[in-house]
Amino acid sequence: MSLTRKRRSTGKVTLADVAQLAGVGTMTVSRALRTPDQVSDKLREKIEAAVQQLGYLPNLAASALASASSWTVGMVVPSLSEAGCSEMFAGLQQVLLPAGYQIMLAESRHRPEQEEKLIETLLASNIAAAVLLSAEHSDTVRQWLNNSGIPVIEIGARRADPLDMNIGIDNAAAMFELTRMLIQRGYQNIGLLCASQEQWVFQQYLQGWYKAMLRHHMSPNRVINAAEPPTFSTGAAQLPEFLLAWPELDALVCVSDELACGALYECQRRRIKVPDDLAIVGFGDSDVSRVCQPPLTTVAVPHRQIGVEAGRALLARLNGQARRAEAEIAPALCLRESC
């Protein structure tokens, strides 16, 4: 009865509660839970029965701090709706879960101050490694992670100045190939539609765009960078702006499939024939790009593969093995009926 009153007052079952019910010391319970092979089968079964009866959950954070090790990997993303976020997360889990690691996922919502708070909390929890998805980091975050001594991997896009490891696609090269494909197909008046995103990623898209257009002696000035997020609504809203500014437009490159499909739906509303009157291409090879009408020409980004390769790189580093700091994953053009 006294044990029940204690549990109700604290609201949480402790190691001492398990020890009292099992009739052993707390050190014995701790040893049985952490290294069960070091206690007898009879004693282990007795302690396991007490754990089950009380519903005890070990304090993993305290354990990690005590042992200077952890089985938790922290992952911070700008947005859970970020293109390929779920696929990269699944790829990481595919590798890390069988090795005993759990992934703690957090969203910074594109706010540097929020990322700082999340990184501070994760580092205080003694995470084993950090995964960051395509975001610009403050000097404070960079200093914390550089001084943490843990493996850090940035995924999604290649970076010129990675904190540690970096696995992703070269956005500039992918945009160059997509734009060059349109030029080779005879399109002369091409536009580029961007939306709210990390500035350094936007610069990568522009680099590939300018390189392709200028190499073929074509004007690179038909560019709109909307302040709104890259959604269907933004694509639909920006198409009239393009046609008003550049009525000669015959092809439109969008930095996401959502933007492209929004523009495609607006074309259908305005009875603009795609691709006869206007070609539209996207970026990402999302599900909607395959089922819209006409199906969307786009760039397939192997997000699951990026996650798998990132997981392997982290696991190798955590196991003390040498691993390349950077790896580029090649995207692929998906040619469909929209151009």
Q: What is the DSSP letter of 100?
A: T
pLDDT per residue as tens digits for the range 277-302: 999 999 999 999 999 999 999 999 99
Question: 15-58 belongs to which CATH class?
Answer: mainly alpha
The amino acid at residue 211 is K
Q: For residue 1, is pLDDT > 50?
A: no
Q: What is the mean pLDDT of the chain?
A: 89
Q: Which residues contact 274 (CB under 8 A, 6 or more apart)?
A: 264, 267, 268, 280, 294, 338
Cα separation, 196 vs 41, in Å, equals 60
pLDDT per residue as tens digits for the range 11-37: 578 888 888 998 998 888 878 887 787
CATH topology of domain 70-169+303-329: Rossmann fold (3.40.50)
Residue of higher predicted confidence among 336 and 60: 336
Instruction: Say what the pTM is.
Output: 0.78
Q: For residue 41, is pLDDT > 90?
A: no
Burial pattern 44-59, b for ≥16 Cβ within 10 A else e, equals bebbeebbeebebeee
CATH topology of domain 171-300: Rossmann fold (3.40.50)
Residue of higher predicted confidence among 41 and 248: 248
Output the CA–CA distances (angstroms, integers) from residue 4 to 17, 21, 48, 51, 309, in the order listed. Answer: 9, 11, 19, 14, 49
Apex 246 CA angle, 297 and 178, nearest 5:
25
CA 96 to chain centre: 15
3-state secondary structure of 72: strand
Q: Where are the domains of the chain?
A: 15-58, 70-169+303-329, 171-300
146-166 mean pLDDT: 93
Q: Tell me whether the CATH fold assigned to 15-58 matches the one assigned to 171-300.
A: no
Question: What confidence score (pLDDT) does residue 10 get?
Answer: 46
Cα separation, 56 vs 68, in Å, equals 23
